[in-house]
């Protein structure tokens, strides 16, 4: 049996909340856990705040928007994606610095199926799981009537940017990274990449 043969992709459930929180923190380079820490009571772990957020029925970061990959019965990775039908109402100037460029670019993603996060646990990387999840998200987009996909990535994250480019995503806009304390990309740009799906 090959690695691909042992891989299944399914809709996430509330029970997957903790895994989803860990994976979105990986995808967000630590920004999510930093944001969750702002809402922690004394002694509360940020990851538990993330788990509670993932278990919500609504909102962008909800289990209802996630597909989970399992390899040999273990949670291996996830993609979080959904349609953007209206521009975000938040003013980027009033948001925490780490997420301001992402919200600014999201306003350019209206009418697309947006890949908010794609991540694979370290033990399961380099086996094609990320590619399979991305294809699954594109399948969701097509089944929901969307003709374009969008995704954001740090320009300095060259490995991820190359993966998306191989899948046909092209640069549509960019916004400068703002200084923040929670992950390694302090300079350069956040890139908005868009792909037109085949009919």
Q: Which CATH superfamily is domain 4-196 in?
A: Gcn5-related N-acetyltransferase (GNAT) (3.40.630.30)
User: Following DSSP, what letter does each residue of 97-156 receive, concatenated?
Assistant: TTTHHHHHHHTT-TTSEEEEEEEE-GGG-SSSHHHHHHHHHHHHHHHTT--EEEEEEETT
pLDDT beyond 90 at 87: no
Length of the chain: 199
Does residue 74 sit in helix, strand or coil?
Answer: strand
DSSP code, position 90: S
Residues 12-45: tens digit of each pLDDT? 999 999 999 999 999 988 889 888 988 888 778 9
Q: What is the pLDDT of residue 88?
A: 83
Q: What is the pLDDT of residue 20?
A: 97
Local confidence band at 193 (pLDDT 50, 70, 90 cut-offs): very high
Q: What is the pLDDT of residue 30?
A: 86
Q: What is the pLDDT of residue 89?
A: 84
Q: What is the pLDDT of residue 1?
A: 38
Q: What is the pLDDT of residue 95?
A: 82
Residues 115-162: tens digit of each pLDDT? 999 999 999 998 899 999 999 999 999 999 999 999 999 988 888 899
Does residue 33 sit in helix, strand or coil?
Answer: helix
Q: What is the pLDDT of residue 100?
A: 87
């Amino acid at each position: 049996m090959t690695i691909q043969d042992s891989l299944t992709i399914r809709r996430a459930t509330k029970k997957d909340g903790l895994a989803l929180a860990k994976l979105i923190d990986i995808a967000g380079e630590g920004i999510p856990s930093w944001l969750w820490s702002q809402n922690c009571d004394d002694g509360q772990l940020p990851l538990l705040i993330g788990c509670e957020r993932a278990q919500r029925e609504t909102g962008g970061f909800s289990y209802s928007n996630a597909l989970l990959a399992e390899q040999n019965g273990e949670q291996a990775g996830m993609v979080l994606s959904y349609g953007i039908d209206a521009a975000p109402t938040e003013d980027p100037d009033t948001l925490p610095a780490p997420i301001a460029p992402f919200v600014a670019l999201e306003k350019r993603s209206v009418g697309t199926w947006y890949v908010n996060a794609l991540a694979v646990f370290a033990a399961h990387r380099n086996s094609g799981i990320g590619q399979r999840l991305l294809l699954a998200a594109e399948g969701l987009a097509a089944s929901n009537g969307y003709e374009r996909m969008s995704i954001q990535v740090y320009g300095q994250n060259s490995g991820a940017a190359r993966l998306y480019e191989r899948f046909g995503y092209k640069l549509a806009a960019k916004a400068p990274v703002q200084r923040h304390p929670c992950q390694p990309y302090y300079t350069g740009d956040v890139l908005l990449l868009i792909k037109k799906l085949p009919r």
